[in-house]
Structure 1
Amino acid sequence: MSYPEHLEYPEDRYHGDRGEVNAAFRPADSPPDISSPGGSTHYLATNASTGGEFGLYKVELGARSAGAKTHFHKAMSESFYILSGELELYNGEKWVTGRAGDFLYVPVGGLHAFKNVTDEPMTMLMIFSPGAPREEYFERVAEMTQRGGEELKQFRIRHDSYFVEDFAPGEE
């Protein structure tokens, strides 16, 4: 395969000549940042730690975990990479079964949802780009879901999560 001589890369953001020592390492045995009866979340790379470039989270969902209903994001894409188990993924058109090694990319504005319908736990990587401060969302979504109503809707909107169930046709 041949490649063009001039490739389009993003503008330089680092202007030094020798590089820096600034990598971050997270050992595999680090405990999850959030644990709940439905699973756990590991903050691998946050908005803060990547300077807003991306967010990377390892999510472990227990058996029969509800996941997230159909929604979209206005400011970021979301991707799913299945590490183990199975996950039902809604790609905006239909439900597909994701298994270890499967990947789903959802561009900005793309409808999507996910749930674990099996009797086994599953693990996935979730990637948001650009990065967003998702930690509060992960930490408070269960509490806010219990509150429900307008408070839940505003919490979701604050975190760039537009759930179809929150909007009547023509309301948005």
Structure 2
Amino acid sequence: MSYPEDLAYPEPRYHGDRGEVNAVFRPAGAPPDLTSPGGFTRYLATGQSTGGEFGLYDVQLGPRSPGARTHFHKAMAESFYVLSGALELYDGDRWVTGGAGDFLYVPVGGLHAFRNATDEPVRMLMLFTPGAPREEYFERVAEMARRGGEELKQFRIRHDSYFVEDFEE
């Protein structure tokens, strides 16, 4: 295989000569940041902790968890990597069942949804690029869903989550 002589890497953002000690380690046994019936969310790397580069979350959905209905994001891409269980993923065209090792990338503006339609938990990594302050969304979405109406719609918009149902006439 041949490789181009002039590789197109991004412009350097670090301009030092010796590197820095700035890595962040999170042990596997760290407690979840958020729990729900049969599930949890671990904030592995938040938009704030990565300087806005990405957000990475370890999410377990409990059995029969509705997940998120069809929506899109205007400012960020979202990716799903299934760690265990069977995750139903909507790719904007059709529902597919993802198992351990399956991956779905959703570019900015791409319609998508996810759910756990099984009687077992499902675990996945969710990646947002660039990183955004998703933590408030995760922590308050259930409360806001109970309130419903315009308050829920505005909460979703504040968090770059445009649900199709909010704009249907």
Quick one: which amino acid aligns to residue 98 of structure 2? G
Number of residues of Structure 1 aligned to a counterpart in Structure 2: 169
> Counterparts of 1:8 and 1:88 in 2: how far apart (Å)?
36
Quick one: which amino acid aligns to residue 8 of structure 2? E
The alpha-carbon deviation at position 38 of structure 1 amounts to 4.8
Quote the residue 2:98 is aligned against: 98
Task: Check conservation: 2:38, 2:121, Cα contact below 8 A.
Answer: no
The alpha-carbon deviation at position 119 of structure 1 amounts to 0.6
Aligned residue runs from structure 1 range 16-165, under 5 A: 16-165=16-165
> Counterparts of 1:93 and 1:44 in 2: how far apart (Å)?
30
> Where in structure 2 are there 5+ consecutive unaligned residues?
none
Q: After alignment, is 5-14 or 99-108 more displaced?
A: 5-14
SS in 2 for 1:154: helix
SS in 1 for 2:43: strand
Please provide the CA RMSD for this pair. Answer: 0.7
Quote the residue 1:167 is aligned against: 167
SS in 2 for 1:114: strand
Could you report, residue by residue, the CA deviation over 1:30-74 in whole angstroms, capped at 9, with x for unpaired residues?
Answer: 110000115110000001110000000000001100000000000
> Counterparts of 1:47 and 1:54 in 2: how far apart (Å)?
5
Q: Give the 4+ runs in structure 1 shifted more than 4 A.
A: none
Identity of aligned residues (%): 80
> Counterparts of 1:24 and 1:2 in 2: how far apart (Å)?
36
> Where in structure 1 are there 5+ consecutive unaligned residues?
none
TM-score, structure 1 length as denominator?
A: 0.97
